[in-house]
Amino acid sequence: MLKKGDAAPVFTAKASLAGNEFNFSLKKSLAKGPVVVYFYPSAYTGGCDAEAHSFAEMKDKFTAAGATIIGVSGDDIKRLNTFSADPDYCAGKFAVASDSEGKIAATYGLTINPSKLGMKDIRGIELNHGFIPRTTYVIGKNGKIIAVFSSETDHISPIEHVEKSLAIVKAL
């Protein structure tokens, strides 16, 4: 896993904002200010839903601090189109990107955990993609990682990812 002070790998990815697909560019977003890149296991699962909802609720505070939020998961873009527009989760307030092949996660040093046969989301739909460990990177405008935290190593909740990210970007 990359650490504080490392250069953040730039990436482009298919993403969705309010149900509309577009190409997200980390490089273009960094030109505007800091970016919170948060990796999460899967849309429509407990912790990920709570995290997305919390980011949506706090979006105005991130914007006031000049920060962009981008969620990244192994979900396909069709699934993310629905999730990004869902008023209970992303609520059309920030983008989520598809890393269905795990290439972005790999550049950040994250290992994808394979899906478990028969595992379903909260809607009863079977999950057929790997799961990226919940890890958040706060990246400065200069492209350097300012902070990184992981639920696996730091033992923090999905909501704490949002709160810690916000505190960091507000302090910049």
Instruction: Please give the pLDDT value at position 136.
Output: 97
Instruction: Please give the pLDDT value at position 122.
Output: 87
Instruction: Please give the pLDDT value at position 118.
Output: 82
Instruction: Please give the pLDDT value at position 117.
Output: 77
User: Using 50, 70 and 90 to split pLDDT, how confident is the model at 25?
Assistant: very high
Q: What integer is the mean pLDDT of 1-14?
A: 96
So where are the chain's domains? 6-170
Provide the 8-state DSSP code for 160: H
The answer to whether residues 37 and 26 touch, using CB atoms and an 8 Å cutoff, is yes
Instruction: Please give the pLDDT value at position 102.
Output: 94
pTM score, two decimals?
0.94
CA distances from 162 to 2, 101, 137, 149, 156 (A): 19, 25, 11, 11, 10
Q: What angle do CA 86, 88, 90 make, to 5 degrees?
A: 60
Domain boundaries 6-170, corresponding CATH code = 3.40.30.10
Instruction: Please give the pLDDT value at position 150.
Output: 94
Q: Residue 1: is its pLDDT beyond 90?
A: no
User: Using 50, 70 and 90 to split pLDDT, how confident is the model at 37?
Assistant: very high
Q: pLDDT, tens digit, for every residue of 117-167?
A: 788 888 888 888 889 999 999 999 999 999 999 998 999 999 999 999 999
Q: pLDDT, tens digit, for every residue of 38-88?
A: 999 999 998 888 899 999 999 999 999 999 999 999 999 999 999 999 999
CA distances from 55 to 1, 2, 43, 62, 164 (A): 23, 23, 14, 9, 11
